[in-house]
């Protein structure tokens, strides 16, 4: 996590969701694979459905 939302429950939920996707499918194309090494996700409370 690069930056906390200030809400530890939201932060923990976001981290947990990422770990539940493990392992992520990895691209077989070498050029795409290099770009896939770092994955940035932005989680905003206002975009969460069903909370």
Which residues are CB-contacts of 43 (< 8 A; sequence separation ≥ 6)? 5, 10, 14
CA 3 to chain centre: 12
**Rounded distance between C-alpha atoms, residue 3 and residue 9, angstroms:** 14
Which residues are CB-contacts of 11 (< 8 A; sequence separation ≥ 6)? 1, 4, 5
* SS3 label, residue 11: helix
Average pLDDT over residues 4-24: 87
pLDDT higher than 80, residue 47: no
**Rounded distance between C-alpha atoms, residue 19 and residue 23, angstroms:** 8
Query: If pLDDT is split at 50, 70 and 90, which confidence band does 44 have?
Result: confident
Query: If pLDDT is split at 50, 70 and 90, which confidence band does 49 have?
Result: low
pLDDT higher than 80, residue 28: yes
pTM of the model: 0.58
25 compared with 49, residue with greater pLDDT: 25
């Amino acid at each position: 996590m690069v930056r906390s939302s200030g809400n530890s429950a939201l932060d923990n939920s976001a981290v947990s969701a990422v770990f539940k996707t493990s392992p992520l499918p990895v691209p077989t194309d070498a050029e795409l694979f290099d770009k896939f090494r770092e994955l940035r996700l932005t989680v905003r409370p206002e975009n969460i459905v069903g909370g």
